[in-house]
Amino acid sequence: MAYEPCQEALATLYTYLDGELTPDKRARVQQHLDDCGPCFEAFGFEAELKSVIARKCQEQVPASLRERVAEALRAEGAST
Ligand SMILES: [Zn+2]
């Protein structure tokens, strides 16, 4: 069974958005986003969502919401 690079990239996205990623991992995610259209779109969606929420709430994305988004992405990945 091949390892799923998209799953890893999406999982790492959350850390990437939070700015808590090591330069090494950040480079790997960036590289994957350059190569992978769907992940690039997912990243754009996440970044936009986060900035919209940040603008509206003037605070961090609630952990509960982030959990639900992560859950949706996990479910999506699991069904393919
Ligand atoms: Zn991908």
Give the pLDDT confidence of 11-21 residue by residue, as tens digits: 887 777 777 87
Distance 57 CA to ligand 1 centre (A): 30
Distance 58 CA to ligand 1 centre (A): 30
Distance 18 CA to ligand 1 centre (A): 19
37 or 79, which is more confident?
37
Q: What is the DSSP string of 22-52?
A: -HHHHHHHHHHHHH-HHHHHHHHHHHHHHHH
Distance 28 CA to ligand 1 centre (A): 11
CATH (one of 2.40.128, 2.60.40, 1.10.10, 2.40.50) for 5-78: 1.10.10
Give the pLDDT confidence of 13-61 residue by residue, as tens digits: 777 777 787 888 888 888 888 899 988 888 887 888 777 777 776 655 6
Domain residues of the chain, as ranges? 5-78
